[in-house]
Chain A
């Protein structure tokens, strides 16, 4: 760094009207460059061969804070070490500062230079005892691109106006700017020199405004000892800040991921502080089947949990199960302003969810179910060891207790659908998937080659036995269920053949592992190409599959090779998914955007669940049905949609969580019955968590937990607890942002106050 100024000019005569010693005071705001302005003025006078002294009144070194800077000029060494209380020249860089005592100690006859947009006449009264000048230095500096668009730096510009006001030699300007490396700002100063408007003194003879008291003031100072609370400083430092902190909710990733739309953070946090009943009250708002979902949900919430990258996702699925298993709560039925009647076709997850949401809101819902009992895939497709019937019945009884009507064991025909649509206010079709996919290879018609779902149903209803070697084809939950059921039904060996990699299997990860532990062998990247046998299947030829280019799902497209192996087998179970077909719909009905049209007119008929979306999980069906109900209700009442709980505009990313604020604590693991015992029968394999303490691991991403971190880290001690959270004393908040930076869970943000600082 070079010493920043050295006079090379010979002494210059002082213009008329300047007497020495001379005292100049600059009022500005932090960031405007008031101190540099005072230094430039010092440089001008030093260039005239005079002794100078210049300094800032430091302390509030923060953008927007009112600051003062001083320059003294004399012929000889300056020994005055005080601030300037009675300035001869006053520069005010921001007209907003006129509300502060800038005129303190300024005597009549003093020179005042003001940066303002308003014309000089606007200040005629304020400055009537003074010779004064006004220049719009901000406009000039903005034209010249000095500073940024939000904070325009005017300290160099205004020097041009000062030079003109004083009648100082023009060449001083270029010399000072050159030496300081500020020649780029010289055109702005030249413009200010031209544009400044000077007004002569209107009146004289008044007394100087009294300077600010030389003593520190007599206000009583709070003692330190014996005062337990932080005491606020006298300085209202909130005036300095451009930013202020605030509390806000962001969307936690679990909430964003939940297909059912559960407010996961809310119920997990409630479980930390309250019992299962209070927690269930939150969960049951959105979730008709918590005991079911707490067992069979693939839990995308856990996949997206921000704790995953730290020490493992929170075991949300099992917390949901724990709440459902430990609470007897049912939400009270509300009274609808205008109760309506709804027919729901299909009593699976979607139909049950829809009926529950309608009944909860005081409407009449009748479920038409083709099977003997309600539940659909839950009752007939998911094995007992994953979802015991009494668990399903517990969730069902809560739904039915709301007054939901049921018509079971009677399939609805196309003709009946048309009738229902005319009899009810609306019909919701929740019939799930259609027929299962087939392999399309030779020998598929042989006895011993069966679809998985009917197999699972028979296992549940008739206790079917199998023997020999079983091959299951597929990679979803049904494939796993088939394999594990086959083992339990007496198979000697079970293999799962899947055409992609293990990572690509849609089945729940834990269940794949459990199936392997029980003895199922996985054969991935294999595709059956033929089935063989005389009067019954005895062999299956499988080809190796290579990974091709990624398809629309992001997974690699399987490329079947010529390399094959033949396995002997006694039973082949196909679990390849189902067709999404809507055969039930009358011919003149057209499915469009979740509902039914006849020609151009929309009928009061909607679809929900797999028959609508094909998303294929219980949880998606539950969520889609609930959202469809809300859509139906809004449309029928011509009113607004109900808001989704626990969702804000931005999802919290792992990088926004302060991992250092948390201790490593591995996830709570589910308990299981011993593998040997599991293989012997259909007892529930997973016993869930042994307590709700897993809820303690929740980061509560984006949602304040009143952890006091902000209060503790505030360097000024101006965050206080209040009834519903915290209060920031904005009069004293300097806007440092430490509270926001330290918030462990991204539940705070900084707001912009005012680009030029100043008033909050």
Chain B
């Protein structure tokens, strides 16, 4: 096993650093950062890098951190920041601006439960809160994937057909603070993969305001353009993956990651690291003769409707794991997935690992038992009810 031992926070920061340096022939790099557990190590690492034509600005809040990124990106620089939880909530207003102004900023989120009461552990609810703002969203499952996805996110965000922020999510501590071997390419390889940033709406020499007042008709048109560009991003991602494979000699996982789905009757669908646990459970249950498969959703926005329909076609029982809760409805992944599963399928929601609980194979085996014993889907089930 080769590779450098890096935490996922450091892997994300190192990927951003390589991308930053790769823009030294363009307009350089500028990032606004503010610490928050469990994302802090990422910005700390970034602050300690020497970046030619680059500047990391330590500001007084997440709101300003994204403000710096907006200014930098609008000026044509490559830009990146990292946050989590309530920091992301505080950043949200400027995330809207970054998205609506169509600025290709990359943002990593070390997913953490929203407080209060305070809880520092993993929960996808923080990033999913920003689901509808027009940012592309990835959810990663291991350190290498975090590194690779951040690198690819710059290429995807800066593609002239896309031009919008990309959020790369990793579960707090479970990923952010876990150290594992990570294959890190050379600067030359990254230079070749990432051409200099070109922001078409880049500010020129004449100062002017961004995002002024517009009328309903204009807004409707801009929303439609944003929506269409987001929908098209799925196809652009496939191109980026192809380029990625060509430059780095390994595969970047796609929008969804199917595992032993072919003859599966029961499927476990999830986001993030729970997807890897699901794969381990699929292996052990198949040894016992159960036809189980796992499907990990890596790209949440744009929602990969076609990929999911293709994977879930003909599946009878679908257990959807959510480390998040839309209070009053249920899991967010589940609520979206119901629209793409076969009309006759039993789609049951399980709320797992809310507030950072460790989701173990034992839990998922119980979930598979439960979904197999049902004749119809019921209300979302909390793990403690099983």
The interface of chain A, by Cβ under 8 A from chain B, is: 1, 3-7, 39, 42-43, 46, 49-56, 58-59, 75-83, 85, 214-216, 218, 224
Contact = CB atoms under 8 A, between A and B. Distances in A.
Kindly state the interface size class of chain B when it binds its partner. 35 or more
17 contacts: A1-B44, A3-B10, A5-B5, A7-B2, A43-B5, A46-B181, A52-B179, A55-B173, A58-B38, A58-B120, A58-B121, A76-B1, A77-B1, A79-B280, A81-B273, A82-B277, A215-B383
Given A81-B174, A215-B384, A51 B358 contact: no
Given A52-B180, A55-B177, A55-B178, A6 B121 contact: no
A3 B14 contact: yes
Contacts of B121: 58-59
Interface string B153-176: 000000000000000000001110
Contact of A54 (B4, B49, B179, B276): B179
Contacts of A5: 4-5
Contacts of B181: 46, 51-52
A53 B179 contact: yes
B179 A214 contact: no
B180 to A, nearest CB: 5
B218 interface: no
A317 B296 CA distance: 79
Contacts of B184: 3
Closest 5 CB pairs of A and B: A51-B1, A55-B178, A3-B4, A5-B5, A81-B273
A523 to B, nearest CB: 59
B179 A55 contact: yes
Given A3-B6, A56-B177, 15 more contacts: A1-B44, A1-B48, A1-B49, A5-B5, A50-B1, A54-B179, A55-B173, A58-B177, A59-B120, A76-B1, A77-B142, A81-B274, A85-B360, A214-B362, A214-B363
Given A3-B14, A50-B1, A83-B358, A216 B276 contact: no
Contacts of B4: 3-6
A39 B45 contact: no
Contacts of A1: 10, 44-45, 48-49
- The residue among A46, A75, A81 with the most chain B CB atoms within 10 A of its own CB is A81
A51 to B, nearest CB: 4
Secondary structure dominating the interface of A: loop
A549 to B, nearest CB: 53
Contact of B358 (A50, A52, A214): A214
A58 B173 contact: yes
A51 B178 CA distance: 13
A81 B173 contact: no
Contacts of A79: 142, 276-277, 279-280
B357 interface: yes
B117 interface: yes
Interface in B316-347: none
B48 A53 contact: no
A149 to B, nearest CB: 29
Interface in B364-386: 383-384
A76 B180 CA distance: 12
Contact of B5 (A46, A75, A81): A46
Contacts of A39: 5, 179
Interface in B1-42: 1-2, 4-6, 10, 14, 38
Contacts of A216: 357, 384
A51 B10 CA distance: 18
Interface in B92-138: 117, 120-121
Contact of A214 (B48, B178, B360): B360
Contacts of A58: 38, 120-121, 173, 177
Contacts of A59: 120-121
A448 B177 CA distance: 94
B177 A80 contact: no
A687 B357 CA distance: 72
A82 B184 CA distance: 25
A56 B179 CA distance: 9
Nearest to A224: B117
Contacts of B358: 82-83, 214
A215 B357 CA distance: 8
Given A4-B5, A82-B358, A214-B362, A42 B179 contact: yes
Contacts of A51: 1, 180-181
- The residue among B10, B48, B181, B362 with the most chain A CB atoms within 10 A of its own CB is B181
Contacts of A3: 4-6, 10, 14, 184
Nearest to B175: A81
